Structure 1
């Protein structure tokens, strides 16, 4: 990578062009317009690679990362409709209704009376719930047709629910207002992530300019800031946990990891990597504090139905939903040829168990076992998880981009560019995936990964600078 110097006119031109591309994505590109979306993201990724290779100065890159995020501030999410469920859950939280206790169709029984009458799992509303529901019924009735999963219980952990409740509590009837609050929370998390990435890079003796690999990454900008996915908070809390571990502050680190798990369950995969970095006593205490933090976060939502309904949602996720998968699609096809059925209910959980086995194997075989090498091993742990998953939405790749900052691997950056091909699914309301585009995405990612492994990237010292 060239040595950063002063900002050159070509940098300004590239940044201005990036801003125009993001502006068009934020305000003039519905996700059904796949050709336009793909062209704009291709431009954004091309400029991203150029800016990193041309030696954009760190301060200029940090300022650009902030301004490009502020560009999205008043925009509604363009490529994801999940924010409608965020508002729905937030309205319930703000009015004292447990979002894990009732499905949206149960709360809107009038609109779903015929379907619900045949559903033995339907839960009748208590008088207290009906009373709390009354003031927000008109808003919920407006939101309900926009939900993409009205027949499923909420799957968002308590940290997300707190954010949703804050946004909907401040702006119960205003979509733009609630979105603005959520985006400000994401921006605060991204600002903290920037500071933590810089602190960790400095602690590991790595070039500070690597922070721009994450902060200027188009997928991160579009999916976290633009589409309001709370991987932003998960990444922030996860990096905070790592930074505190590096500084020897294990108890506070465990609290931070608990918050990360309370945002998304994925950071649980970090725990096996701590077994050999801490003594057994330290690991047990650390796990207990992290687990206790998660329990405390769930306490406001405790009910007899909590565990049952969350288990239902997770079971459905692993045994019914499929999107942009790789290994799973291959296994599904082979099994279908032999049985004539889609055996996702068996294949999904089996791949999940395989992921757990690989995670334990990586933790056991890891060499050397140091704090600077933890991001590398975690990167591969999460990569295996996604390669074996039945669902891989574009924003799932963002944590891989963050972890790659501390390694010499680039396959996650390539994946962050290729995963946008999955948006071809949304060109029609039928949501039909294009298997050729899915295959192209994973073939390119796996070829890059295999090439990096073969050339010995994994053996490169952690403080060595490599060009993109």
Structure 2
């Protein structure tokens, strides 16, 4: 009993010492707490001025908090958890995607295949009589989501179902369930990201540029985007690969792909990981790795598999990648050229050409870069995904999550800059028709491309 009391006393003394000698970090934690509270419970996305002020203030506080603590690990972990838990009872205010997440989860728990019908179809059939919050979910997700088939992979669907198991069967209870899954994934990224950094002999404090990044906290915990779960499995896969555990690495990479399909495009980059010193490819090892990834994905999709599923899913993926445009960069320039030449929006043609360029860039990174270390592999992944986003017709803010995570294992920091200026894309929602101001888009990408060019091309030449 005496030992227990001493232990408690020592912990209390430790906390009091932090407060006494780390007054600035405590100040920035309190300021951040207030700003996050306002962001979570007193903000609508159409209030652009308030959105920009809160977001900018949070970035300043995050930077000062990390710097003034001297990377005091316990304090920063405490802050990271506190800021996430602050959002627990809030309804997302920058995105309505969570309504579809809850809908798909409810379908799965009802024994229905979420890939075989759209919400509009289900509403017309009127068969979901015991479906919780039916009308509110359908109206909340918006007409675009309601009239299209789901595009979320199977492991993501499982997460949606688990979130709906939270007691009370209300939208808030499902939101809490979704949020707890995402927070758990972030803590997993913190743990394995730190271990990977230590294994690479890099400063473990780098992990906080991801974990305490306001963009990450707001887009994942706040807006309930599952890129954070995808990143957790990707980081875990890289950690296992660095430890020589290839089979486990392949399985968790497949898990990452089964949350979001984006890591699928990174598979060619593993080619030179299996290259020996005499430039020979260990073909058997490479094929085993790819086979483990492929079989795991196939097994996860199997419960939903049917001819109709293939048709619906491929149609939806093609729709999302080729028919919508938002916060694009190179595509918008090419679109203007198309308007000048033909007088029409040439998205149908341009959206077919740009992915081909992305594939060629990824293949060049796979075959011409030495991706035989985790740092080199992470750099290639980062550059591949960055080029893909530069060439995309649609770049929603949460798409940057993987870039922010990967950059901490590299010498590149432009994703951190992008994670700050990406908030400008939300200004479009202040307009009733969601029309983007292209001058604002130009400001965003001029800033990002300037840092990108400096870090990737100019700085390298100066060093050489």
TM normalised by structure 1 equals 0.90
Q: How does 1:322-337 map to 2 (within 5 A)?
A: 322-337=325-340
**Contact (CA 8 Å) 1:408, 1:460: kept in 2 or not?**
no
Q: How does 1:52-201 map to 2 (within 5 A)?
A: 52-54=66-68, 55-109=70-124, 130=127, 133-136=128-131, 139-148=133-142, 149-171=145-167, 173-201=169-197
1:34 matched to 2:48? The reply is yes
In the aligned structure 2, how far is the partner of 1:441 from the partner of 1:330?
Answer: 14
Q: Which has the higher contact order (CA 8 A, sep 6+)?
A: 1
In the aligned structure 2, how far is the partner of 1:310 from the partner of 1:210?
Answer: 38
In the aligned structure 1, how far is the partner of 2:111 from the partner of 2:350?
Answer: 38
In the aligned structure 1, how far is the partner of 2:50 from the partner of 2:241?
Answer: 44
Are the structure 2 counterparts of residues 458 and 178 from structure 1 closer, same or farther at C-alpha, using a change threshold of 3 Å? Answer: farther
Alpha-carbon offset, residue 18 of structure 1 = 1.1
**Superposition RMSD in Å:** 1.9
In the aligned structure 1, how far is the partner of 2:130 from the partner of 2:344?
Answer: 46
1:20 matched to 2:23? The reply is no
2:124 is paired with a residue of what secondary structure? coil
Deviation string for 1:414-447 (max 9, x for gaps)?
0000000000111133111111111100000111
1:347 matched to 2:350? The reply is yes
* Residue number in structure 1 paired with 2:8: none
In the aligned structure 1, how far is the partner of 2:462 from the partner of 2:200?
Answer: 16
In the aligned structure 2, how far is the partner of 1:59 from the partner of 1:135?
Answer: 46
1:226 matched to 2:229? The reply is no
Deviation string for 1:325-363 (max 9, x for gaps)?
101111111111111111111211211111111001011
Higher helix share: 2
In the aligned structure 2, how far is the partner of 1:51 from the partner of 1:73?
Answer: 22
In the aligned structure 2, how far is the partner of 1:410 from the partner of 1:424?
Answer: 24
* Residue number in structure 2 paired with 1:374: 377
1:43 matched to 2:57? The reply is yes
**Contact (CA 8 Å) 1:103, 1:152: kept in 2 or not?**
yes
Deviation string for 1:89-112 (max 9, x for gaps)?
11101101111100111111169x
In the aligned structure 2, how far is the partner of 1:89 from the partner of 1:289?
Answer: 28
Alpha-carbon offset, residue 297 of structure 1 = 0.8
Deviation string for 1:148-189 (max 9, x for gaps)?
211110011111110111222445740111011111111111
In the aligned structure 2, how far is the partner of 1:62 from the partner of 1:456?
Answer: 33
In the aligned structure 2, how far is the partner of 1:451 from the partner of 1:107?
Answer: 51
- The correspondence for 2:305, drawn from 269, 282, 302, is 302
In the aligned structure 2, how far is the partner of 1:216 from the partner of 1:66?
Answer: 9
5+ residue gaps, structure 2: 1-16, 275-281
**Contact (CA 8 Å) 2:272, 2:370: kept in 1 or not?**
no
* Residue number in structure 2 paired with 1:386: 389
Are the structure 2 counterparts of residues 457 and 199 from structure 1 closer, same or farther at C-alpha, using a change threshold of 3 Å? Answer: farther
**Contact (CA 8 Å) 1:105, 1:150: kept in 2 or not?**
yes
Alpha-carbon offset, residue 304 of structure 1 = 2.1
Deviates more, 1:172-181 or 1:330-339: 172-181
Alpha-carbon offset, residue 306 of structure 1 = 0.6
Alpha-carbon offset, residue 134 of structure 1 = 3.1
The ranges of structure 1 where at least 4 consecutive aligned residues each deviate by more than 4 angstroms after the TM superposition are 457-461
Are the structure 2 counterparts of residues 428 and 456 from structure 1 closer, same or farther at C-alpha, using a change threshold of 3 Å? Answer: closer
1:305 is paired with a residue of what secondary structure? helix
